[in-house]
């Protein structure tokens, strides 16, 4: 998800050219954003000696070294397609003297000196008829070499092509991704559906078919701010976006209400708290969502884990919230080399997150609501690639051990079916955004379960009441938007088995299917409640 003028939780990831992006935010439109190809592929650069280097890097294995000289500022550019009259954010990590990042003919920013990697960010809005933009980064004449890494252009792009690339190389929004291994053999098709593991009954008081949405509670963007009291009663679960850490590895989560300067119509703390209680009195659930595009959380130590538990509990207690939504994106989760058993993970950021969630569950008991909004890159991609096997991006499928470890008390998993590249489904075909087929195939994987890449292990399916579909509320909310009727067609297939097109459900029908999540309530209000007005009656009509 993203707090720019589009979607959350994130994340445009791509699998082998397959992803050009990660979400509950928007897509990174740049190719090779972290230079993880080990080359300048996708970029046009000047400067003799400029290229990808292995040190110093901000993350991943490579970064750009721009060799600025007295006669050359070592500029690198990349041109991408954009939408007119739309807000975008360009950001990146740089080090060196006089390093610039910006848009040709438009906004830019710079740092006079950065001895360590420093993040630069600039927001801009495209023109009324603008369909492409050239971004740049460069040093300055005579100032010596500079480094840049993890460059991100976040915003809605153009629909993906229907034919997936043939050689996988994954990229994640605002984060680099190494080249992936080749596509799996078509013979890798599960003959039977794995049996879902047993788990505790669903949380009481939650709507059988729920409408779930994110509220921009700590920031404003092009959609505007909406007061808690003004959110219609049609919404069953309201996720407060976002709780964010004081630093990536601190584990110290803070939730800051939007300021009056940024959100002139923001309510007071007392009004906000009263509105939360009023929603809960109506049977609604209000959760703290942690992460999003800017909230990278890495619980690398047990100290960070404990700080995470205590700081999250403090926020839940202060506002009387019902629980937590985990929207980890970027590099929050990854798998160390050799960590190939999702049932027994060893990577600290995975182990500590699992432990933290179990501690929160113990603290709040049966009333604790836990939801997750990972992107397809971190879940369904695990059928094709798994990070711990060292076969490509070490984040691929990295949510699987977390989901598996907490499945007994996981309330809802609503994967972001947007800002995604093509994903290999259980029919051993690539499925792309833009139609009901993508939602059907991605959701069926969660219900049926699937073999995890080349590990020899199978991820068991979830109960249908634990599964919802995440979709953008409107065209400005993120890549992958489809009309409400298309979403309803996918749900009808999943619930009753009718209208599935050429796809055969491996997990069977799911009358208890939980519902729909969207980024975001704010964007839906901006578009006159198109999503809510269509989907609330539809969900009510389901068995």
Measured distance CA(315)–CA(257) in Å, rounded: 12
List 238's β-bridge partners, or say none: 213, 286
Measured distance CA(227)–CA(246) in Å, rounded: 26
**In what helix (H) or strand (E) does residue 404 lie, and over which residues does it extend?**
helix 400-405
Measured distance CA(381)–CA(368) in Å, rounded: 29
Residue 170: count other Cβ atoms within 10 Å of its Cβ: 29
For residue 355 the two structure tokens come to: 């432990």
Distance of CA 43 to the CA centre of its chain: 25
Strands 146-154, 132-138: pairing is: unpaired
Nearest in space to 137 (alpha carbons), one of 30, 226, 258: 30
Asked if 505 and 493 count as a contact pair (C-beta separation under 8 A), the reply is yes
Residue 39: count other Cβ atoms within 10 Å of its Cβ: 12
Q: Which residue reads 């803070």 in tokens? A: 254
Measured in degrees and rounded to the nearest 5, phi and psi for residue 534 equal -85, -45
Measured distance CA(449)–CA(500) in Å, rounded: 19
Measured in degrees and rounded to the nearest 5, phi and psi for residue 175 equal -165, 145
Measured in degrees and rounded to the nearest 5, phi and psi for residue 517 equal -110, 145
Nearest in space to 205 (alpha carbons), one of 373, 367, 406: 367
SS3 for 281?
Answer: helix
Measured distance CA(502)–CA(499) in Å, rounded: 9
Cα torsion angle, 350, 352, 358, 364, sign = negative
Q: Which residue reads 């993040």 in tokens? A: 119
Strands 253-254, 323-327: pairing is: unpaired
Is 329 among the catalytic positions? yes
Measured distance CA(448)–CA(460) in Å, rounded: 7
**Which residue of the set 267, 296, 329, 375 is catalytic?**
329
Distances (CA, A) of 175 to 36, 146, 150, 241: 9, 19, 5, 21
Q: Which residues are catalytic?
A: 329
């Amino acid at each position: 998800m993203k707090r720019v003028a589009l979607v959350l939780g994130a994340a445009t990831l791509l699998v082998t050219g397959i992803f050009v992006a990660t979400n509950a935010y928007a897509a990174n439109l740049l190719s090779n954003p972290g230079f993880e190809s080990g080359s300048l592929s996708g970029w046009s650069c000047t400067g003799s000696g400029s290229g990808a280097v292995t040190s110093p890097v901000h993350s991943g294995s490579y970064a750009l070294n721009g060799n600025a000289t007295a006669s050359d500022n070592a500029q690198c550019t990349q041109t991408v397609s954009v939408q007119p009259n739309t807000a975008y954010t360009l950001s990146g990590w740089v080090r060196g003297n006089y390093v610039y990042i910006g848009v040709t003919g438009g906004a830019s920013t710079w740092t006079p000196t950065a001895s360590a990697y420093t993040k630069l960010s600039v927001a801009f809005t495209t023109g009324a008829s603008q369909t492409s933009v050239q971004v740049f980064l460069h040093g300055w004449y005579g100032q010596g070499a500079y480094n840049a890494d993890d460059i991100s252009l976040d915003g809605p792009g153009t629909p993906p092509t229907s034919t997936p690339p043939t050689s996988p190389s994954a990229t994640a929004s605002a984060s680099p991704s190494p080249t992936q291994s080749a596509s799996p053999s078509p013979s890798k098709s599960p003959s039977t559906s794995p049996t879902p593991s047993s788990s505790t009954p669903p949380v009481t008081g939650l709507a059988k078919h729920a409408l779930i949405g994110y509220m921009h509670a700590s920031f404003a963007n092009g959609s505007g701010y909406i007061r808690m009291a003004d959110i219609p009663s049609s919404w069953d679960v309201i996720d407060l976006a976002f709780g964010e850490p004081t630093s990536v590895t601190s584990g110290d989560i803070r939730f800051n209400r939007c300021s009056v300067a940024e959100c002139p119509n923001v309510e007071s703390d007392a009004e906000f708290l009263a509105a939360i209680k009023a929603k809960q009195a109506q049977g609604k659930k209000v959760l703290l969502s942690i992460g999003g595009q800017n909230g990278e959380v890495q619980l690398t130590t047990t100290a960070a884990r404990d700080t995470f538990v205590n700081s999250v509990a403090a926020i839940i207690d202060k506002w009387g919230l019902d629980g937590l939504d985990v929207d980890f994106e970027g590099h929050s989760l990854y798998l160390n080399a050799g960590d190939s058993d999702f049932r027994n993970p060893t990577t600290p950021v995975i182990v500590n997150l699992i432990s933290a969630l179990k501690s929160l569950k113990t603290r709040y008991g049966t009333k604790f609501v836990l939801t997750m909004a990972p992107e397809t890159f971190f879940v369904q991609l695990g059928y094709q690639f798994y990070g711990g096997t060292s076969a490509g991006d070490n984040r691929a499928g990295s949510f699987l051990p977390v989901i598996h470890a907490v499945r007994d008390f996981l309330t809802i998993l609503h994967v972001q079916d947007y800002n995604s590249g093509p994903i290999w489904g259980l029919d051993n075909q690539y499925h792309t955004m833009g139609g009901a087929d993508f939602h059907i195939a991605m959701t069926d994987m969660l219900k049926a379960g699937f073999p995890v890449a080349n590990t020899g292990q199978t991820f068991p399916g979830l109960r249908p009441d634990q599964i919802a579909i995440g979709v953008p509320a409107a065209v400005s909310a993120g890549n992958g938007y489809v009309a409400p009727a298309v979403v309803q067609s996918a749900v009808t297939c999943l619930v009753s088995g009718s209208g599935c097109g050429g796809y055969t459900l491996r997990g069977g029908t799911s009358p208890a299917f939980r519902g729909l999540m969207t980024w975001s309530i704010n964007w839906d209000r901006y578009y006159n409640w198109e999503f809510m007005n269509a989907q609330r009656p539809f969900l009510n009509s389901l068995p």
